[in-house]
Structure 1
Amino acid sequence: MKDPLVLGFVLVALDVALWRAAFPRNDTIRLLLRLVIFALLSALLFESALSPFTPAPWPESPGRHLAAQIVEVSWWLIGARLLTLSLDAVFRSRHWHKERLFQDVLGALVFLAAVVASLAFVLGLPVTGLVATSGALAIVLGLAIQSTLSDVFAGIVLNTTEPYHIGNWVSVDGVEGKVLEMNWRATHLLTSQGNVVIVPNSVAAKAKITNSSRPVALHGVSITLQISPEERPATVLGALERAIEGSSMVLQSPEPYTLVKKATINSIEYEVTVYIDDIGKSVVVTNQLYDLCHRHLAAAGIELWPLSVPRPPRHDAVDSRQRLLSHVELFRALKGEEIEALAKRLSRHEYEADQVIVKSEEVTDYLMIVESGVISVMVEGPSGPVESARLGPGDSIGEAGVLAGLPVQAQVTALTRAVIYRLDKTDLTPLLKSRPEVGQQMCHLLSQRQDSLRKLNTEIPVPAGTEHTLLDWLRAGMHKLHDLTT
């Protein structure tokens, strides 16, 4: 067992086992263990006259001579790999380490040097002749892999100029996605559909690149709407501005804006532009803006109707109330005559901007339905008042009061000039008796709202000692307050 060749093969096998098994899991610890094994192998070879800088010492014994050459060549290759990993670990904190290009190119150069050195020192081959032969071979290979070489040099340019980094959301050559990897040949992008698109570096270096992750905390979102030219632009712009006000995810600086982009005989095109602090919110904010714009345009009496279709007659005041109730989620299951009966009992109330509509802990015996404007709902959080929601046309609040006589537990304030319709508890009782599913739906909606309130450490206080859920407790309160049969 004291034979240096046997010990050398054992150390080489142990190093290969650590490399292939990736054990231990920690890269730094595994690298240190491999460096210790390499140091032991180096000491073994130099102390036993098996120097990697000289040919194997047993030419008279072909078997031992070949084994010695294998051990010495392995020393060069293992040393090249460990040198690459060591340099990689040293520069790990540097920014360019995130890309694999330098790691791959550096590793290739180190391995090439190790191969040439092992051929010269261990096998005793003439390096000058080899270099001359390899020069002609390099020309042939260069012509054969010129596209690959183009990717390599383009990758060097990309890593030097740094148009994007790992984790950035970019658009390269018309492909939009998140940068997963940058290596010596290509950039890997993860698209919003969950597909991985590989863009060659030579293509990326010539293409127009849009980096949506820079600047880090600012991203623009724009939508366009085509409205009938019969509608006055000032009225449309006012409705769109209220729609922007209805989103709490929009940054106030830079200030969002709306503008008229183009006017034709068929339509007037409007653009709404807002800014967000996270590119991941762009889809949610875009969908929210379209919904808010639709609701506020409808509240302003602007109907999205194609010119090629005859416009229906304008609704009168009663019809507008019926239309408002039909868009409220609580009353969508009602029949036409039921909507008409409720609409006649609505009372109209106007509020100016910053006017308090309902104070916190106030018990309201009426349901409030927003007809136009933007309403802010503020609840008391652990560190002070926190906005829990913004309400727009078609939204309702006050279900807790008309259902079970509970306080609103939030301060409701008008952010813009607003119009709110009220439906009193006494007017709602006949509907709850004839259509119990409406009351059940209101209880479900109110209980679901508690999920967001729990995150703010604010929720409806359920009496201590009860074994019922919040939903059951609301149902019991509704039956008691409206004298409903169980």
Structure 2
Amino acid sequence: MKDPLVLGFVLVVVDVVLWRAAFPRHDTVRLLLRLVIFALLSALLFGSALSPFTPAPWPESPGRHLAAQILEVSWWLIGARLLTLSLDAAFRSRHWHRERLFQDVLGALVFLAAVVASLAFVLGLPVTGLVATSGALAIVLGLAIQSTLSDVFAGIVLNTTEPYHIGDWVSVDGVDGKVLEMNWRATHLLTAQGNIVIVPNAVAAKTKITNSSRPVALHGVSIALQISPEERPATVLGALERAVTGSSIMLQTPAPYMLIKKVSINSIEYEVTVYIDDMSKTIAVTNQLYDLCHRHLAAAGIELWPLGVPRPPRRDVADSRQRLLSHVDLFRALQGEELEALSKRLSRHEYEANQVVVKSDAVTDYLMIVESGVVSVVVAGPSGPVESTRLGPGDSIGEAGVLAGLPVQAQITALTRAVIYQLDKADLTPLLKSRPDIGQQMCQLLSQQQDSLRKLNAEVPVPAGTEHTVLNWLREGMRKLHDLTT
């Protein structure tokens, strides 16, 4: 067992087992253990006339001579691998640890040097002739794999200049996605549709790259709208400004802006740009922005219809009030005549910017429907007042008060100049008495809304100890408030 060849191969086998089994699991501990094994192997070889810097001994014994050559070559290859891992652990940056290009290129260079050294020292081959032969072979291979080499060198340029890192949201060659991997050949992008797109490094190095993750926590979202040139631009821009005010998930700094992009005889193109702090919000914010713009444009009297089609007639005030009521979920089961009767009982109220509409301790028994403007709803949260939502044209609040006499439990403030219609509870009583089924549907819908409010610490005031569900409690409150028969 004292034979250096046997001991040497035992150490090599142990190193290979640790490498293949990935044991220990911690990379640094495993590297240190492999370095210790390599040090023992080096001490064994240099102390037993098996130096990797000299040709293998025992030429008179072909079997032992070949085994010695294999052991010495293995020393060079293992040393090259451990040198690569050590340099990788000592000098690579936090971002490079997740990128494979430099590790692959550095490993290839170190292994190439180890192979040349082993051929020269262990096998005694003439390096100059080998280099000349390999140079000619390299030219042939270079011509054969020209595109692959282009990707490799382009990858080196990309990793050196660092236009993006793993996890960044980028646009490369017209492909938008999140960077998942960067290797010696290509960049892997995960698109919003869940697909993996592989962009060759040579293509990425030549094309325009847009990195949406820089600067950090600041991303722009833009939408374009084409409006009839008959509409005054100042009116359109005012409606769009109120639309961006209606969202609480968009950043206020930098301020959103809107501008006229292009004017033609058929339309005027407007662009609205807002900012968000997370690219994952892009789809939600874009959809919300289109919805808000549509609602505020309609509230400003700007009817949206296909360009080139004759303008439809303007709705009169009565039709506008019925249309406003039909947007309220509480009244979605009502028919035309019922909506018309309720619309005649709506009262119109105007509020200036920053004016309080309802105080947090006020008890209201009327429904509020926003016709135009933006209204903020603030509820009491665990750590203080919290803005729960912002209301825009077609939104309503106070359903619980007009149906069952429950307080709003929120402070309502106009963020912009606003027009709000109110419907008193007494005006709803005739409808509930003539249509009991409508009242049941309203209670069911309202109970679902109250479940959502409780998540914001705005709980329904159900008396302690009651075994009634929220739906039953609302039904009981409705019967008492509107004097309905059971």
2:271 is the counterpart of 1:276: no
1:64-463 aligned within 5 A: 64-432=64-432, 433-435=436-438, 436-451=440-455, 453-454=456-457, 458-460=458-460, 462-463=462-463
Paired letter, 1:255: A
C-alpha change, 1:441 and 1:130, in structure 2 (3 Å) is same
Describe the SS at the equivalent of 2:270. strand
Q: How far 1:95 sits from its partner (Å)?
A: 4.5
TM-score scaled to structure 2, two decimals?
Answer: 0.93
C-alpha change, 1:463 and 1:76, in structure 2 (3 Å) is farther
Q: Judge conservation of contact 1:399–1:446 (CA < 8 Å) in 2.
A: no
Q: Judge conservation of contact 2:444–2:471 (CA < 8 Å) in 1.
A: no
Paired letter, 1:34: R
Describe the SS at the equivalent of 1:9. helix
Q: Judge conservation of contact 1:242–1:374 (CA < 8 Å) in 2.
A: yes
Residues in 2 aligned to 1:468 and 1:85: alpha-carbon distance in whole angstroms: 67
Q: How far 1:475 sits from its partner (Å)?
A: 4.4
Residues in 1 aligned to 2:405 and 2:3: alpha-carbon distance in whole angstroms: 92
Q: Judge conservation of contact 1:91–1:97 (CA < 8 Å) in 2.
A: no
Paired letter, 1:394: G
Q: How far 1:292 sits from its partner (Å)?
A: 0.3
Q: How far 1:21 sits from its partner (Å)?
A: 2.1
Paired letter, 1:223: I
C-alpha change, 1:307 and 1:158, in structure 2 (3 Å) is closer
Q: Deviations over 1:428-460 (max 9, x none)?
A: 334442412122112212222333x04xxx534
Select between 45-54 and 319-328 the one with higher mean Cα deviation.
45-54
1:4-23 aligned within 5 A: 4-23=4-23
C-alpha change, 1:55 and 1:370, in structure 2 (3 Å) is same
C-alpha change, 1:463 and 1:88, in structure 2 (3 Å) is farther
User: Percent of pairs identical after alignment?
Assistant: 84
Q: Judge conservation of contact 1:170–1:212 (CA < 8 Å) in 2.
A: yes
1:14-33 aligned within 5 A: 14-33=14-33
C-alpha change, 1:287 and 1:229, in structure 2 (3 Å) is same
Q: How far 1:27 sits from its partner (Å)?
A: 1.5
Q: How far 1:307 sits from its partner (Å)?
A: 4.6
Select between 251-260 and 337-346 the one with higher mean Cα deviation.
251-260
Q: Deviations over 1:315-336 (max 9, x none)?
A: 2111110011112223223221
Q: Judge conservation of contact 1:375–1:391 (CA < 8 Å) in 2.
A: yes
C-alpha change, 1:129 and 1:217, in structure 2 (3 Å) is same
Q: Judge conservation of contact 2:369–2:396 (CA < 8 Å) in 1.
A: yes
Q: Deviations over 1:225-257 (max 9, x none)?
A: 111222222221111111011011222222222
Q: Judge conservation of contact 1:228–1:306 (CA < 8 Å) in 2.
A: no
* Structure 1 unaligned blocks of 5 or more: none
Residues in 2 aligned to 1:11 and 1:335: alpha-carbon distance in whole angstroms: 87
Residues in 1 aligned to 2:273 and 2:388: alpha-carbon distance in whole angstroms: 24
Describe the SS at the equivalent of 1:361. coil
C-alpha change, 1:18 and 1:69, in structure 2 (3 Å) is same
Q: Deviations over 1:90-142 (max 9, x none)?
A: 12445444432221111111101111111122222222221121111112112
* Structure 2 unaligned blocks of 5 or more: none
Residues in 2 aligned to 1:307 and 1:159: alpha-carbon distance in whole angstroms: 49
Residues in 2 aligned to 1:44 and 1:403: alpha-carbon distance in whole angstroms: 91
Q: Deviations over 1:77-102 (max 9, x none)?
A: 11111110111111244544443222
Select between 156-165 and 102-111 the one with higher mean Cα deviation.
156-165
C-alpha change, 1:314 and 1:209, in structure 2 (3 Å) is same
Describe the SS at the equivalent of 1:449. helix
Paired letter, 2:364: T
Paired letter, 1:249: I
Q: Judge conservation of contact 1:179–1:188 (CA < 8 Å) in 2.
A: yes
TM-score scaled to structure 1, two decimals?
Answer: 0.93
Q: How far 1:476 sits from its partner (Å)?
A: 4.4
Residues in 2 aligned to 1:329 and 1:351: alpha-carbon distance in whole angstroms: 24
Q: Judge conservation of contact 2:142–2:149 (CA < 8 Å) in 1.
A: yes
Paired letter, 2:173: D
CA RMSD of aligned residues (A): 2.1
Q: Deviations over 1:181-213 (max 9, x none)?
A: 222222111111111111111111111111111
Paired letter, 1:306: P
Residues in 2 aligned to 1:472 and 1:29: alpha-carbon distance in whole angstroms: 64
**Residue number in structure 2 paired with 1:58:** 58
Paired letter, 2:312: P
Q: How far 1:356 sits from its partner (Å)?
A: 0.6
C-alpha change, 1:404 and 1:5, in structure 2 (3 Å) is farther
Q: Judge conservation of contact 1:151–1:200 (CA < 8 Å) in 2.
A: yes
Q: How far 1:361 sits from its partner (Å)?
A: 3.0
Select between 241-250 and 212-221 the one with higher mean Cα deviation.
212-221
Residues in 2 aligned to 1:299 and 1:316: alpha-carbon distance in whole angstroms: 13
Q: Deviations over 1:352-399 (max 9, x none)?
A: 111111111322111111111100011233443221110001111112
Select between 39-48 and 233-242 the one with higher mean Cα deviation.
39-48
C-alpha change, 1:26 and 1:400, in structure 2 (3 Å) is farther
